[in-house]
Structure 1
């Protein structure tokens, strides 16, 4: 199974029209606000000598940070254009990057065969996926961690819709970076509070720890306040 051509082309179009400037993508925040605190939550449960796979790596900002905390970091993304961004931003080869469709079970299994059991970092991918693809994304996490890896998953909650609505309805309409997300048909915060943990458990994952958080964005409201989207995080193991 593969993702729909519409979904794939939405992401290819988004990344083709995104510059290499840091922070140009609304979610491309500095690692100090994202993968650094997330790693601090994951590492007490994880073996850092195992690789880490950043699922939905985009332009690789978080992957490059993860490479400083784990023995090896591999960033994968559905979009070829995103992978090209990531490779350009990493000329010294701090991390590795490749195109991967998380819904393609054969490709995910092949990656697991190459890397062995790995840790996984998944930030805000499930909520953007088409509903019928979400179980496969959770199953990809389970496949990649195997029995020895651990995963960190952070996903937007429905409360994010309220924040986004406020940004859209503010003076001047949606800020530029947020408008680009909508223009490409990408729909954030599309899961319910219970859907993500249910998907994770159904994939055979055990929730070791969980909590509430917010995912900082690189865009701001008209009054200068940074947009931060309510989210929930999970540290996971295979059963």
Structure 2
């Protein structure tokens, strides 16, 4: 099974039309506001000497940070244009980047065979995936972490819809970065609050820790404060984890 062509086209179109400027995508926050605190939450439960795979890496901002904290960092994304962005932004080769669909079990298995057990970082992928694909995304996490790895999964909650609606109603309409999300047919906050933990359980993953958080965005409110979207994070292990 693979993602729909329309979904793939939407993401290719988004990334082809995105400049290389940091923060051009609305979710492309500084790692100090995202991956840094996420790794701190993962660290008590994980062996950070294992490779870490950033699922849905986009332009690789968080992946490059993960490479400074973990044994090896690889970012994968459905969009070839996103992978090209990530490679251009990393001329020193701090991290590695590959095109991969999380809904392609054979490709996920091949990656697992190549790397062995890994830790996984997945920031806001399930909530914007097409509904039929979400279980496959969760199963990709389980397949990659194996016995020794751990996964860090963070997803927008239903409450973030109200925040996005309020942002869209800003004077003058949605700010430019949010408007680009809508224009390219992307669907933020599309998964329900109970759906994410249910999907993780169905994939055979055990939740070791969880809590509320907020995903920093690169847009601001009219008063200059940063837009943050309500979310929840989970640290997960496989059913056979040691």
Q: Give the alignment's TM-score, normalised by structure 1.
A: 0.99
CA contact under 8 A between 1:175 and 1:221: conserved in structure 2?
Answer: no
Partner residue, 1:117: 117
Structure 1 residue matching 2:133: 3-state secondary structure: helix
Superposed displacement of residue 224, structure 1: 1.6
Q: Which runs of 5+ in 1 are unaligned?
A: none
Superposed displacement of residue 49, structure 1: 1.3
Superposed displacement of residue 223, structure 1: 2.4
- Is structure 2 residue 2 aligned with structure 1 residue 11? no
Partner residue, 2:189: 189
- Is structure 2 residue 101 aligned with structure 1 residue 107? no
Superposed displacement of residue 222, structure 1: 2.2
Superposed displacement of residue 220, structure 1: 1.0
- Alpha-carbon distance in 2 for matches of 1:170, 1:24: 19
- Alpha-carbon distance in 1 for matches of 2:166, 2:224: 14
Partner residue, 2:146: 146
Partner residue, 1:73: 73
Partner residue, 2:34: 34
Structure 1 residue matching 2:155: 3-state secondary structure: strand
- Is structure 2 residue 236 aligned with structure 1 residue 233? no
- Alpha-carbon distance in 2 for matches of 1:81, 1:47: 32
Say how many residue pairs are matched: 239
Q: Which runs of 5+ in 2 are unaligned?
A: none
- Alpha-carbon distance in 1 for matches of 2:191, 2:217: 19
- Alpha-carbon distance in 1 for matches of 2:221, 2:183: 18
- Alpha-carbon distance in 1 for matches of 2:49, 2:121: 15
Superposed displacement of residue 226, structure 1: 1.1
Partner residue, 2:21: 21
Q: Give the alignment's TM-score, normalised by structure 2.
A: 0.98
